[in-house]
Amino acid sequence: MRVDRARCIGSGICAGTAPGHFVLVDGVSRPLAERVAPDEVLVDAADSCPVEAVVVSEVDGLRRIAPEP
Ligand code: SF4
């Protein structure tokens, strides 16, 4: 999982949706861990981001899980 820091507008929705997974630093979201166990709340966070800055992928990075490609 990653956050496109250039795209993030600091809305805080991801941190509100999945507080154990994101933290806002200087108004930009940062994932607390790059590799995480599968969790539907991460899909919800990615789908809720207004600028699609949260990207959840398989560990090998080959398949994007959310937001839907
Ligand atoms: S929901 Fe998107 S825009 Fe808002 S803080 Fe998270 S990554 Fe940034």
Note the pLDDT of residue 49. Answer: 98
Note the pLDDT of residue 22. Answer: 98
Where do the structural domains in the chain lie, given as residue ranges? 2-66
Which of 2, 8, 21, 42 gets mutated to test ligand 1 (max ligand atoms within 8 A of its CB)?
8
CB 34, CB 3: distance < 8 Å: no
User: Residue 21 to residues 24, 26, 43: CA-CA distances in angstroms?
Assistant: 10, 17, 12
Q: What are phi and psi of 68, to 5 degrees?
A: -55, 130
CB distance 8 to ligand 1 below 6 Å: yes
**Chain segment 5-49, per-residue pLDDT in tens:** 999 999 999 999 999 999 999 999 999 999 999 999 999 999 999
Record: fold of 2-66: Alpha-Beta Plaits (3.30.70)
- Our CA angle for 8, 10, 12, nearest 5°, is 115
DSSP strands (E only) in the chain: 2-3, 22-25, 28-31, 54-57, 64-66
